[in-house]
Structure 1
Amino acid sequence: MTPLRLRPDNFTPPTRTPWGGRRIVEAIKAGLPDLGDDGEHDVVGEAWEFSIDPAFPSRVADGRLLAEALPEAATTPMLVKLLDTADELSVQVHPPDDYAALPPGHSGKPEAWYVLAREPGAGLWLGLRDGVTREALSSALAAHADLRPMLTFVPVSPGDCFVIAPGTVHAVGAGVTLVEPQLVRPGQTGTTYRFWDWNRRYDAAGHRSPSGQPRPLHVADSLAVTAFDDQRGAAYVASLRRRPEPIVAAAGATRDRLCTLGVMSVERLRGDGTLVIPALAALAALVVVRGRLTIRAGDASTAARCGETLALPSEIGAFSVTLEDAEAIMTWCRG
Structure 2
Amino acid sequence: MTKQLYPIKFKPILKDKIWGGEKLKTLLHKDSKLSNVGESWEISDVEGDTSIVINGDLKGQSLKQLLETYKAELLGERHYKVFGNKFPLLIKFIDAKEDLSIQLHPNDELAAKRHNSFGKTEMWYVMQADEDANLIVGFNQEMTPETYLKHLNDKTLTEILNFDKVKTGDTYFIEVGRVHAIGAGVMLAEIQQTSDITYRVYDWDRVDDQGNERELHNDLAIDAFDFDMPDNFRVDYQKTENTSNQMVSCPYFTTSMLHVTESILKLNTKDSFFIYICVEGEALIETELASEFIKQGETVLIPAAIKTYKITSSNAKLLEVYV
TM-score (norm 1): 0.83
Query: In structure 2, what is the Cα distance between the partners aligned to 1:172 and 1:156?
Result: 10
Which amino acid in structure 2 is aligned with residue 274 of structure 1?
S
Which residue of structure 1 lines up, in the alignment, with residue 300 of structure 2?
310
Kindly state the Cα deviation for residue 194 of structure 1 after the two structures are TM-superposed. 0.6
Query: In structure 1, what is the Cα distance between the partners aligned to 2:144 and 2:177?
Result: 14
Which residue of structure 2 lines up, in the alignment, with residue 194 of structure 1?
200
Which residue of structure 1 lines up, in the alignment, with residue 176 of structure 2?
166
Kindly state the Cα deviation for residue 131 of structure 1 after the two structures are TM-superposed. 4.8
Query: In structure 2, what is the Cα distance between the partners aligned to 1:22 and 1:296?
Result: 32
Which amino acid in structure 2 is aligned with residue 89 of structure 1?
L
User: Of residues 114, 118, 126 in structure 1, which corresponds to 2:129?
Assistant: 118
Asked if the contact 1:294/1:321 (under 8 Å) is kept, the reply is yes
Which residue of structure 1 lines up, in the alignment, with residue 13 of structure 2?
10
Which amino acid in structure 2 is aligned with residue 265 of structure 1?
T
Tell me the SS of whatever aligns to 1:99: helix
Q: What pairs with 1:283-294 in structure 2 (closer than 5 Å)? A: 283-294=273-284
Question: How many residues are matched?
Answer: 300
Unpaired runs of 5+ in structure 2?
Answer: 76-84
Which residue of structure 2 lines up, in the alignment, with residue 208 of structure 1?
none
Kindly state the Cα deviation for residue 142 of structure 1 after the two structures are TM-superposed. 2.9
Asked if the contact 1:28/1:289 (under 8 Å) is kept, the reply is no
Kindly state the Cα deviation for residue 304 of structure 1 after the two structures are TM-superposed. 2.3
Asked if the contact 2:273/2:303 (under 8 Å) is kept, the reply is yes
Which amino acid in structure 1 is aligned with residue 184 of structure 2?
A
Query: In structure 2, what is the Cα distance between the partners aligned to 1:195 and 1:124?
Result: 16
Q: Percent identity?
A: 28
Asked if the contact 2:95/2:187 (under 8 Å) is kept, the reply is yes
Unpaired runs of 5+ in structure 1?
Answer: 205-211
Residues 49-103 of structure 1: CA distance to partner in whole angstroms, max 9, x if unpaired? 1111113221112332112135435333111111110111110111111127843
Tell me the SS of whatever aligns to 2:192: strand
Which residue of structure 1 lines up, in the alignment, with residue 267 of structure 2?
278
Kindly state the Cα deviation for residue 317 of structure 1 after the two structures are TM-superposed. 0.9
Tell me the SS of whatever aligns to 1:316: coil
Asked if the contact 1:287/1:330 (under 8 Å) is kept, the reply is yes
Query: In structure 1, what is the Cα distance between the partners aligned to 2:175 and 2:94?
Result: 18
Asked if the contact 2:29/2:297 (under 8 Å) is kept, the reply is yes
Q: What pairs with 1:248-267 in structure 2 (closer than 5 Å)? A: 249=241, 253-267=242-256
Kindly state the Cα deviation for residue 132 of structure 1 after the two structures are TM-superposed. 4.1
Which residue of structure 1 lines up, in the alignment, with residue 82 of structure 2?
none
User: Of residues 20, 38, 53 in structure 2, which corresponds to 1:45?
Assistant: 38
Query: In structure 2, what is the Cα distance between the partners aligned to 1:90 and 1:296?
Result: 41
User: Of residues 87, 95, 108 in structure 2, which corresponds to 1:84?
Assistant: 95
Asked if the contact 2:67/2:86 (under 8 Å) is kept, the reply is no
Kindly state the Cα deviation for residue 299 of structure 1 after the two structures are TM-superposed. 5.2
Two-structure CA RMSD over aligned residues (Å) = 2.0
Asked if the contact 1:112/1:261 (under 8 Å) is kept, the reply is no
User: Of residues 155, 159, 171 in structure 2, which corresponds to 1:149?
Assistant: 159
Kindly state the Cα deviation for residue 284 of structure 1 after the two structures are TM-superposed. 1.7
Tell me the SS of whatever aligns to 1:220: helix
Query: In structure 2, what is the Cα distance between the partners aligned to 1:168 and 1:244?
Result: 21
Asked if the contact 1:297/1:317 (under 8 Å) is kept, the reply is no
In the alignment, structure 1 residue 27 sits paired with structure 2 residue 20:
no
TM-score (norm 2): 0.86
> Which shows bigger deviation, 50-59 or 126-135?
126-135
Query: In structure 1, what is the Cα distance between the partners aligned to 2:132 and 2:96?
Result: 14
Which residue of structure 2 lines up, in the alignment, with residue 221 of structure 1?
220
In the alignment, structure 1 residue 57 sits paired with structure 2 residue 63:
no
Kindly state the Cα deviation for residue 218 of structure 1 after the two structures are TM-superposed. 0.5
Residues 263 and 137 of structure 1, relative CA distance in 2, 3 Å threshold: closer
Kindly state the Cα deviation for residue 245 of structure 1 after the two structures are TM-superposed. 4.1
Query: In structure 1, what is the Cα distance between the partners aligned to 2:266 and 2:243?
Result: 11
Asked if the contact 1:22/1:44 (under 8 Å) is kept, the reply is yes
Which residue of structure 2 lines up, in the alignment, with residue 203 of structure 1?
209
Query: In structure 2, what is the Cα distance between the partners aligned to 1:63 and 1:183?
Result: 24
Asked if the contact 1:93/1:194 (under 8 Å) is kept, the reply is yes
Residues 100 and 307 of structure 1, relative CA distance in 2, 3 Å threshold: closer
Query: In structure 1, what is the Cα distance between the partners aligned to 2:294 and 2:22?
Result: 22
Asked if the contact 2:111/2:119 (under 8 Å) is kept, the reply is no
Query: In structure 1, what is the Cα distance between the partners aligned to 2:144 and 2:121?
Result: 23
Asked if the contact 2:244/2:320 (under 8 Å) is kept, the reply is no
